[in-house]
């Protein structure tokens, strides 16, 4: 099997620093590299013939453990994906919307503690969501728009990722365990073609403390990946999924390329690749898309 071993560093100097360790990983896997193909500032591909995928991933992980570089090892064929399914909170945007809403009720610390446990997989997502939303009963619905205006920002590279994949013919969908109020606005800002999320219930003026059922959790995210792929007429092998929390793990494991972004340990362990130092344009480099093709 021909493998693509992609390195993404903050800059070219960091890439050069990591390259000897990457080449050593290739040597440990027992197959020579064909050479380096530069994709952009700090990003490059190594192509390896005949290596075992699991072996090269393991040796690369050990060799690059202390390097300021993200990497992805995958089959070189069909790297460019036809469908992107992305989590929203702490992935496409830099915050957890529910925690920020709770801040306006003076409950951020309490809600954030439950969020952290749910994202780490320590408690079931659905029960945790109901528990957190119940604490918001009576909060003015205007707090939602204020949260969006004051707290929600796209993560670096998010808009470039979505618009570049769209320009290359992929469908991009935002699928969140958060709320439609935010997914609709974030999808528009980043350029997603579609979005899915949960719905907060209000009485027209205040939140009731309830969320509409059924709750969009891990199973629903996986279903969304499969449904969107089927609607496009592509296999899940042609999909890319990215997220950070335990409720993203099922879709990340099922996707053709599953990426953990600044993720909890349980998610990072189950993903094909991790992005811990670079921005979200790393997902473009992982697909072999060079910087000159980015839609800024």
Helices (H), the chain: 12-29, 53-63, 97-103, 108-119, 125-134, 142-151, 158-167, 180-190, 218-232, 249-254, 265-270, 282-286
- Residues 47 and 5 sit within 8 Å (Cβ to Cβ): yes
Measured CA to CA, the distance from residue 151 to residue 131 in angstroms comes to 22
Phi, psi of 278 (to 5 degrees): -85, 175
Measured CA to CA, the distance from residue 207 to residue 213 in angstroms comes to 15
Q: Which listed residue (45, 70, 89, 244) is catalytic? A: 89
Read off the DSSP letter of residue 212: P
Measured CA to CA, the distance from residue 6 to residue 18 in angstroms comes to 12
Measured CA to CA, the distance from residue 247 to residue 263 in angstroms comes to 11
89 flagged as catalytic: yes
Measured CA to CA, the distance from residue 222 to residue 142 in angstroms comes to 32
3-class state of residue 122 by DSSP = coil
Q: Which listed residue (13, 17, 52, 87) is catalytic? A: 87
Measured CA to CA, the distance from residue 210 to residue 226 in angstroms comes to 28
Give the catalytic positions in this structure: 87, 89
């Amino acid at each position: 099997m021909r493998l693509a071993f992609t390195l993404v560093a903050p800059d070219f100097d960091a890439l050069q620093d990591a390259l000897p360790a990457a080449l050593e990983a290739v040597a440990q896997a027992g197959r020579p590299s064909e050479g380096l193909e530069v994709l952009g500032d700090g990003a490059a591909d190594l192509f390896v013939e005949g290596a075992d995928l699991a072996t090269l991933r393991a040796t690369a992980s050990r060799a690059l453990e202390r390097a300021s570089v993200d990497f992805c090892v995958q089959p070189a064929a069909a790297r460019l994906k036809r469908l992107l399914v992305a989590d929203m909170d702490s992935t496409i945007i830099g915050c957890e919307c529910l925690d920020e809403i709770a801040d306006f009720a003076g409950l951020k610390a309490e809600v954030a503690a439950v969020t952290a446990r749910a994202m780490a997989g320590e408690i079931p997502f659905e029960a945790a969501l109901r528990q957190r939303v119940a604490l918001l009963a009576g909060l003015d619905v205007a707090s939602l728009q204020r949260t969006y205006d004051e707290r929600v920002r796209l993560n670096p590279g998010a808009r470039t990722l979505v618009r570049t994949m769209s320009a290359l013919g992929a469908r991009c969908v935002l699928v969140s365990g958060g709320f439609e109020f935010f997914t609709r606005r974030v999808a528009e800002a980043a350029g997603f073609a579609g979005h899915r999320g949960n719905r907060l219930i209000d009485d027209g003026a205040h939140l009731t403390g309830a969320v509409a059922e059924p709750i969009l959790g891990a199973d629903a995210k996986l279903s969304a990946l499969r449904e969107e792929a089927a609607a496009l007429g592509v296999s899940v092998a042609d999909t890319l999924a990215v997220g950070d929390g335990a409720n993203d793990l099922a879709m990340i494991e099922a996707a053709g390329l599953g990426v953990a972004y600044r993720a909890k340990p349980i998610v990072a362990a189950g993903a094909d690749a991790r992005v811990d130092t670079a921005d979200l344009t790393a997902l473009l480099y992982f697909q072999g898309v060079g910087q000159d093709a980015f839609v800024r």
